[in-house]
A and B are shown apart, each in its own frame.
Chain A
């Protein structure tokens, strides 16, 4: 038989699970000190997640999705982006959001059940967290088309999980982006689980990255627990996008060390024996070993970093607690640019009933 088409899926890794270099470092990592901001961002995210879970457990935050073990995906991707790019995150990308300037307080407000948390003061054009899985992928295509139509050298970056690759929205989006060669990077944080459904039950494909082949765009895997690999893959994809060479699909292979959310108990469907080997691969310890071995990170540094993150997060939590809920009529005030008269009547009725905030 002849071959009509064939493909390979590259895999990028710079650090072994033990934090030893296994390839020549990309440009941004040549000076090892330049990796410190990435490390600090991952630690900051992890401490934030711990705090958020504690708040949820004590009834002071809503359901929350921890990114434990996946911090390198968001930090790697976001650190490759420029401020003028647009991020379209799903619900486990706080590491990327924080890097892009979404504040701790905004994240707390959002997860505490207040839409004002999505009115980011930093990245004004970034999309809010997307809860309906994969539905933001078509938005990223539209954002990228807008950038193309204006002749800008910007890119859209959408992140979703392994489960998202089973949805039609995912396929429709990567397909359109392929046809029009749009400046968009699709990132799949493959954490091996979609709540209780393991990756192998999601698709018969050997990799998720190869789904790009059917869309006519490059697809590749990166070690999602190696922040250097994720950033490198994202940088290359963004450079392609800016050069007008179109979209890329990156599958960042990682592992969800936490429950799906605070509303989930993962012991119902996966054993400790399944989870524990993955602790040996997690991204923070990996990079710390690398940095420590090169003499740019010490126990004192670690201690100081954790202290300062905790202090910063405690300040954000105090501010969050001190933020009064919006007035009830706030639910009408952003429905339309100008409230139509029939809705003004409903707004008035709500105010008259006088639900106290």
Chain B
């Protein structure tokens, strides 16, 4: 076993998938000789050659659109968009085509592709390099949206995403790319694409998060333990389809729910999760559901970035509030 960072785990999964299935090909901007701007594809060009690791011209619509054509022909393209803020041109292709090709043709054609991108804030990046875009994709029927938050889950979920017969949007929290190392066995085992992960057991409150926010939430849970509050942490790594059952079971146990995401509040997936809890676990609740999210503001430039992003302290504060509710 080797200790890997999250981005190294992505690289390992890509390599493993390409070794096991020659239909897997990679395309995107600077994915070849440069190995991707975050080095997610490093070494793959050398190993698999330019037919399977393909530098594209600077054209996001074409990157997504070509992937659809390749996928309809039986390839399993893994397309990289360089940053979250440049995914918007792919929405048209992903929503109008990738997500519905199987439905539209009653299964005659399908779209086994993965659209990968680093996403989210926290690394002091320039404008348009820190957005949380999961909601846009998660709203589209026919797409899976997956966000790993540890090297192990990055490796296993990406393998499953590549093997999946349908389109998956795979968003990698860039703030966690090199934040921690973890032992990951390169054994090719995947993880299910429609399960949440309980990262920590607890009895007083359920903290629900994904992406880089899982780190804040875990830190908050640790701090709360010192105050005698036992927090359960759920990583919603598979945002769509949403494994509401795991979340509901936890909230039924703890009676309190705090949902944390860095995407803006309004229309964010926290609202969807809150609604599911209200619909199905209302009578278990001991306090109102709380959301700790980004503001409904334009993602600020680095000087105000930390004021925008939810922090462990914000989560601790919210949990204290729900614990104090009478």
Bound pair: A and B?
A: yes
A141 touches B107 (CB 8 A): no
Give A133 to B322 CA distance when docked, in angstroms.
51
B72 touches A343 (CB 8 A): no
Give A343 to B194 CA distance when docked, in angstroms.
11
Nearest opposing residue in chain B for A336, CB measure? B166
Interface residue from B25, B73, B92, B193 paired with A135 (Cβ < 8 Å): B92
Q: How many residues of B contact A (CB 8 A)?
A: 47
A335 touches B142 (CB 8 A): yes
A142 touches B57 (CB 8 A): no
Residues of chain A within 8 A of B107, CB atoms compared? 119, 334
Is B67 positioned at the interface, with any CB of A under 8 Å from its CB?
yes
Closest Cβ–Cβ distance, residue A19 to chain B (whole Å): 39
Closest Cβ–Cβ distance, residue A136 to chain B (whole Å): 8
A142 touches B71 (CB 8 A): yes
Give A175 to B89 CA distance when docked, in angstroms.
17
Nearest opposing residue in chain B for A138, CB measure? B65
| Interface window among B126-134, B241-249, B255-263 | B241-249
Give A118 to B104 CA distance when docked, in angstroms.
7
Is B61 positioned at the interface, with any CB of A under 8 Å from its CB?
yes
Nearest opposing residue in chain A for B69, CB measure? A142
Is A83 positioned at the interface, with any CB of B under 8 Å from its CB?
no
Nearest opposing residue in chain B for A129, CB measure? B104
Give A44 to B293 CA distance when docked, in angstroms.
60
Interface residue from A116, A119, A139 paired with B65 (Cβ < 8 Å): A139
Nearest opposing residue in chain B for A144, CB measure? B69
Give A128 to B109 CA distance when docked, in angstroms.
9
Q: Using an 8 Å CB-CB cutoff, how does the interface string of A316-357 with B read, 1 for contact, 0 for none?
A: 000000000000000100111110111100000000000000
For window 86-118 of A, CB contacts with B under 8 Å fall at 86, 115-116, 118
A118 touches B106 (CB 8 A): yes
A337 touches B108 (CB 8 A): no
B105 touches A128 (CB 8 A): yes
Given A156-B69, A179-B57, do A138 and B62 touch, yes or no (CB 8 Å)? yes
A341 touches B241 (CB 8 A): yes
Residue with the greatest number of chain A CB neighbours at <10 A, chosen from B96, B106, B109, B110:
B106
B70 touches A340 (CB 8 A): no
Nearest opposing residue in chain A for B238, CB measure? A340
B75 touches A149 (CB 8 A): yes
Is B78 positioned at the interface, with any CB of A under 8 Å from its CB?
no
Residue with the greatest number of chain A CB neighbours at <10 A, chosen from B62, B71, B101:
B62
Interface residue from A141, A340, A342 paired with B66 (Cβ < 8 Å): A141
Give A120 to B107 CA distance when docked, in angstroms.
11
Given A172-B65, A342-B242, A343-B241, do A139 and B72 touch, yes or no (CB 8 Å)? yes
Given A127-B72, A127-B109, A336-B166, do A141 and B104 touch, yes or no (CB 8 Å)? no
Residues of chain A within 8 A of B77, CB atoms compared? 142
A342 touches B57 (CB 8 A): no
A145 touches B104 (CB 8 A): no
Interface residue from A128, A173, A335 paired with B62 (Cβ < 8 Å): A173
Closest Cβ–Cβ distance, residue B242 to chain A (whole Å): 6
Give A35 to B105 CA distance when docked, in angstroms.
33
Residues of chain B within 8 A of A168, CB atoms compared? 61, 89
For window 99-117 of B, CB contacts with A under 8 Å fall at 101-110
Closest Cβ–Cβ distance, residue A135 to chain B (whole Å): 6
Is A73 positioned at the interface, with any CB of B under 8 Å from its CB?
no
Q: Using an 8 Å CB-CB cutoff, how does the interface string of B59-98 with A read, 1 for contact, 0 for none?
A: 1011011111111111101000000000001001100110
Give A137 to B92 CA distance when docked, in angstroms.
13
Residues of chain B within 8 A of A172, CB atoms compared? 57, 59, 61-62, 65
Give A143 to B101 CA distance when docked, in angstroms.
14
Closest Cβ–Cβ distance, residue B26 to chain A (whole Å): 13
Closest Cβ–Cβ distance, residue B268 to chain A (whole Å): 19
Nearest opposing residue in chain B for A174, CB measure? B62
A118 touches B102 (CB 8 A): no
A143 touches B108 (CB 8 A): no
B194 touches A340 (CB 8 A): yes
Is A49 positioned at the interface, with any CB of B under 8 Å from its CB?
no
Residues of chain A within 8 A of B64, CB atoms compared? 138
Q: Using an 8 Å CB-CB cutoff, how does the interface string of A172-202 with B read, 1 for contact, 0 for none?
A: 1101100100000000000000000000000
Give A140 to B164 CA distance when docked, in angstroms.
23
B108 touches A119 (CB 8 A): yes
A176 touches B59 (CB 8 A): yes
Is A125 positioned at the interface, with any CB of B under 8 Å from its CB?
yes
Given A115-B103, A139-B97, do A145 and B65 touch, yes or no (CB 8 Å)? no
A146 touches B75 (CB 8 A): yes
Is B226 positioned at the interface, with any CB of A under 8 Å from its CB?
no
Interface residue from B73, B102, B105, B110 paired with A142 (Cβ < 8 Å): B73
Given A135-B96, A343-B241, do A115 and B69 touch, yes or no (CB 8 Å)? no
A176 touches B73 (CB 8 A): no
Closest Cβ–Cβ distance, residue A242 to chain B (whole Å): 17
B104 touches A169 (CB 8 A): no
A142 touches B241 (CB 8 A): no
Residue with the greatest number of chain A CB neighbours at <10 A, chosen from B69, B97, B106, B245:
B69
Given A120-B108, A334-B106, do A147 and B65 touch, yes or no (CB 8 Å)? no
Residues of chain A within 8 A of B65, CB atoms compared? 135, 137-139, 141-142, 169, 172-173
* Sample (28) of A-B pairs whose CB atoms are under 8 Å apart: A115-B104, A118-B104, A118-B106, A119-B105, A125-B72, A128-B109, A138-B61, A139-B65, A139-B68, A139-B72, A139-B97, A141-B62, A141-B65, A142-B65, A142-B66, A142-B71, A142-B73, A146-B69, A146-B73, A146-B74, A168-B89, A169-B61, A169-B65, A176-B59, A176-B66, A340-B194, A340-B241, A342-B244
Interface contacts beyond A141-B65, A335-B102: sample of 11 additional A-B pairs, CB < 8 Å, sorted by A: A115-B105, A118-B108, A137-B65, A138-B64, A138-B66, A138-B68, A139-B65, A141-B69, A143-B70, A156-B69, A334-B107
- Give the 6 A-B CB pairs with smallest separation, nearest first: A142-B69, A138-B65, A146-B73, A142-B66, A172-B62, A337-B165
